Chains A and B, each alone.
Chain A
């Protein structure tokens, strides 16, 4: 498929912007605000939203600011953060202290601590079809935890996937099939059958650590980014690379898929952010100078968050690539600098969570 098949420049059949869904989103946002802050009168809120609606065409800036800090959430760096993809009521963090912690999204209280790994937990994923949490660690194992048994005395670990010969940095669950794709410092992406724990495929081709993996139900079903400056789109039906993108000149540390579009974004350690169609065509590129550790997409208003190694972060408009906000995290007392290692927006797009090297989780909101 070529990009010209996907898009037609002057196609009258492409529907206009879906205002109904936008309205539904705004109403849900209104509900969310009124349910949490009941002191505010509803009339003021509706006025504000109307004003926002009028200014939707003008260039906007965002004002994400720190709302809450969960200080010393882990006794090490917070390396991975995943928001529950179904109920939006909790989120999971994995830290260098080899623990996985489940936090309440609304009041940031600790719901469960999951043990099992013996080295730093580098990646966590929550399945949207099963109550399973998958985690990959520097101890070269992938583990599967049953969240319904998270506080049972026997522990909740139900499966263990052995086969990696290096630490695991990233993983992704296939949206339709029961397969899990993991990748890490052994430069091979391994495809696991979730139920039988068999390593179905080994996708070999990268020359350095794999840093991010995207899976989707349409071709290319697996996309991997690596420290060898390349992105590979895989054809898993043939178990081979369909396309190698070599347009980054520094190691790619973060790559993220847009949840509603067939596009994805990658960023390298020299600060270049490039947006791609899933066909592999370059859509847009812009720059946010510095080493970018993590990317997050707010699908409700199409904002792209980039978190840097030196604690800076920048928010872009996903469609135009325009910078909306440049700011810096505030390191916890006792640490002079804090790098952002992982980030995620919640499903409503009202909160941003970052896991940082000062052992804290930071919760950001728009004022």
Chain B
């Protein structure tokens, strides 16, 4: 089914007969129209508007050239696959001799008549356009329709140029292209009555710029951040390992700080203990000496006395 949609193989036989679908045209008329060169059949087609007649070859295949050209005022068309085969491929022994005919080298006067015809036509158009030629008032043509029912009936049509008064006022008034207002009206900007709170003000604070080139406040930029900002990620630098390293370093730093803190606390405790013991000792000594003052003197004197 889909093979018909594919393009044809390059070296296949390029002529393929196309069979018309006979079921559709069972009730349509078949008229044999004698052509100038050979007999061709026509089938009237009521279903489509563009092509009114199908022309058939003698063997019943569709004659594309005649069919399309009859629908388009007998113009020439490239319609068969045959037209896409270069002549040099079709005829390998083709002699490359296609002389160009000028006025000087043509055998008959076909070139001359062609040029003169064209010249006459161009002159006629020129005279019409420049408005100084003789006015052709009327033209009588004979007209025959393509319609099959009215074949053979000829009509004579007279074509007249409708004269126009050049002094008439212009039909169309030229208007200035006024500027239109746009459909949603443009917004009017006003200062708001609401005062900015502290939070709003904080939102507008933009942190100071830190970069490889400008770092006024001397922030430390970690290595992985520096690597990330460079344009091309360098394959030689392993960002993952670097980030691991920096996080490990961070952790170690934290640990060390904690250790130092705990050690300092312990030392302070120890020093406090020692101070307290010293104080107690001193207190004891002071008490002792006070006792000696009150009681010990008696004892001392007693001993002296003894």
B214 contacts chain A at the CB level, 8 A cutoff: no
CB neighbours (8 Å) of A274 from chain B are: 86
CB neighbours (8 Å) of A236 from chain B are 118, 121
B125 within 8 A of A: yes
Most buried by A among B93, B97, B103, B129: B97
The contact size tier of chain B is 35 or more
Q: Are B98 and A237 in contact (CB under 8 A)?
A: no
A9 touching B91 by the CB < 8 A rule? yes
Q: How large is the interface on A (under 10, 10 to 19, 20 to 34, 35 or more residues)?
A: 35 or more
Chain A residues whose C-beta falls within 8 Å of the C-beta of B111 in the assembled complex: 217-218
For chain B, residues 95 to 122, give those with C-beta under 8 angstroms from any C-beta of chain A: 95-103, 110-111, 114-115, 117-119, 121-122
Binds B, one of A62-70, A90-98, A280-288: A280-288
Contact with A along B172-216 (1 / 0, CB 8 A): 000000000000000000000000000000000000000000000
- For residue A261, which residues in chain B have a CB less than 8 angstroms away from its CB? 98-100
Q: Which of A218, A242, A243, A259 has most B Cβ within 10 Å?
A: A218
The 8 Å CB contact of A14, one of B84, B93, B97, is B97
Q: From A201, which residue of chain B is reached at the shortest CB distance?
A: B125
- B18 at the A interface (CB under 8 A): no
B83 touches A262 (CB 8 A): no
Q: Contact: A282 with B85, CB < 8 Å?
A: yes
A25 within 8 A of B: no
- Interface flag for B88 (CB, 8 Å): yes
User: Is B263 among interface residues, defined by CB-CB distance under 8 A?
Assistant: no
Residues of B within 8 A of A284 (CB): 86-89
The listed residue (B78, B97, B121) touching A246 by CB distance below 8 A is B78
Select which of A7, A196, A219, A241 is within 8 A of B94 by beta carbon: A7
Q: Map CB proximity to B onto A8-31 as digits: 1 under 8 Å, 0 otherwise.
A: 010000100000000000000000
B219 → chain A, closest Cβ, in Å? 42
A247 within 8 A of B: yes
B83 touching A237 by the CB < 8 A rule?
A: no
Specify which chain A residues have a CB less than 8 angstroms from the CB of B77 in the assembled complex.
243-244
Within 8 A of A (CB), among B70-93: 75-78, 83-89, 91, 93
A217 touching B125 by the CB < 8 A rule?
no
Give the chain B neighbours of A296 by CB distance below 8 A.
none
Interface pair B100/A262, CB less than 8 Å apart = yes
Whether A200 pairs with B125 at a CB distance below 8 angstroms is: yes
Does A367 have its Cβ within 8 Å of any Cβ on chain B?
no
A6 touches B103 (CB 8 A): no
- Tell whether A277 is near chain B: CB-to-CB under 8 Å: yes
**Chain B's nearest CB lies how many Å from the CB of A96?**
33
Contact A7 B103, CB 8 Å, known A193-B122, A196-B126: no
Instruction: Given A246-B78, A282-B87, verify A198-B130 contact (CB < 8 Å).
Output: yes
Residues of A within 8 A of B122 (CB): 177, 179, 191, 193, 200-201
Further 14 A-B residue pairs, CB within 8 A, beyond A201-B125, A236-B121 = A6-B98, A7-B94, A9-B94, A175-B102, A200-B126, A201-B122, A216-B100, A243-B77, A244-B77, A259-B100, A260-B100, A277-B98, A281-B83, A282-B83
Residues of B in contact with A (beta carbons under 8 Å apart)? 75-78, 83-89, 91, 93-103, 110-111, 114-115, 117-119, 121-122, 125-126, 129-130
